């Protein structure tokens, strides 16, 4: 039986990755407001996702003001899709019978 990807299974990281999967990129404040996490929590979860290769940090400038955005990587998108497929498979276990 496949094991669920524990990097993604953590609810906060699942939320972060799911939000990022629907946008080109998002900045820290958008994620903070959307997810209702503390700054420290959000930082550490993004860090973990980045280390897993699931999230890219995109640095840019608005004029002279530095701006940081986050985007989901291809590996992240694939892992997330696989995760939801596995959850759907678990959900389908409701139909198993002992015969």
By the rule CB under 8 A, 14 interacts with a copy of itself:
yes
If one counts every other C-beta atom within 10 angstroms of the C-beta of residue 10, the result is 15
Are 56 and 71 in contact by the 8 Å Cβ rule? The answer is yes
Considering only residues 28, 35, 56, 73, which one is a binding residue for a copy of itself as defined by CB under 8 A? 35
CA–CA separation, 74 vs 65, rounded Å? Answer: 28
- Helix/strand/coil percent split, the chain, to 5: 60, 20, 25
Beta bridge mates, 71: 56
Using CB under 8 A, pick the residue from 23, 41, 74, 78 that binds a copy of itself. Answer: 23
Contact 58, 69 (CB under 8 A): yes
Site for a copy of itself in 51-90 (CB under 8 A): 84, 87, 90
Task: Tell me how far, at minimum, the Cβ of 66 lies from a copy of itself, in Å.
Answer: 18
CB of 1 to a copy of itself, least distance (A): 5
* Binding interface with a copy of itself (CB under 8 A): 1, 3-4, 9, 11, 14-15, 18-19, 21-23, 26-27, 30, 34-36, 84, 87, 90-91, 93-98
């Amino acid at each position: 039986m496949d094991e669920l990807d524990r990097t993604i299974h953590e609810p906060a990281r699942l939320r972060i990755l799911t939000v990022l999967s629907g946008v080109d990129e998002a900045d820290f404040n958008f994620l903070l407001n959307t997810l209702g996490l503390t700054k420290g929590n959000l930082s550490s979860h993004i860090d973990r996702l980045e280390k897993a290769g699931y999230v890219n940090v995109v640095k840019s400038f608005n004029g002279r003001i530095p701006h940081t955005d986050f985007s989901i990587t291809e590996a992240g998108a694939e892992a997330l899709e696989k995760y939801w497929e596995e959850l759907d498979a678990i959900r389908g276990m409701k139909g198993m019978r002992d015969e």
